[in-house]
């Protein structure tokens, strides 16, 4: 492989990653919208917001569904971050509603 060929191949792969990232981002925002709907339902039905058992189910779903190359530990850390950001978003929304 010449350096020119390598650089062209890298470019192509990076474009592919950029597309994948936008698809991941779209799904993350979609997930956030569903979490917001869940929050609204819980609020109306006066159900508890935080349910640790549900979090376990989320981790079970993704670790079972994982076919790699990411390790189970990596998948767990990634979804810990995702859950955490969803919680942050809900907290920010509630603070805004309470201010209003």
DSSP structure string for 69-96:
SS-HHHHHHHHHHHHHHHHHHHHHHHHH
Residues 33-92 that bind a copy of itself (CB under 8 A): 33-38, 41-42, 44-45, 47, 54, 57-58, 61-62, 65-71, 74-75, 77-79, 81-82, 85, 88-89, 92
- Enumerate long-range contacts of 83-86, CB under 8 Å, 24 or more apart: 83/55, 83/58, 85/28, 85/32, 86/31, 86/32, 86/35
Q: Which is nearer to a copy of itself, 67 or 98 (CB)?
A: 67
Give the nearest distance from C-beta 99 to a copy of itself in angstroms.
17
Residue ranges in 1-100 assigned as alpha helix (H):
3-44, 52-65, 72-99
Give the nearest distance from C-beta 2 to a copy of itself in angstroms.
8
Kindly list the residues in this chain that would bind a copy of itself in the complex (CB under 8 A).
Answer: 1, 3, 6-7, 9-10, 13-14, 16-18, 20-25, 27-38, 41-42, 44-45, 47, 54, 57-58, 61-62, 65-71, 74-75, 77-79, 81-82, 85, 88-89, 92
């Amino acid at each position: 492989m010449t350096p020119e060929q390598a650089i062209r191949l890298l470019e192509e792969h990076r474009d592919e990653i950029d597309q994948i990232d936008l698809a991941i981002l779209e799904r993350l925002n979609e997930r956030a919208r569903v979490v917001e709907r869940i929050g609204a339902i819980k609020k109306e039905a006066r159900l508890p917001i935080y349910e640790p058992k549900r979090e376990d189910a989320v981790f079970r779903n993704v670790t079972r569904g994982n076919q790699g190359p990411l390790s189970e530990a990596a998948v767990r850390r990634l979804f810990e971050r995702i859950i955490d950001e969803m919680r942050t978003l809900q907290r920010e929304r509630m603070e805004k509603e309470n201010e209003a």
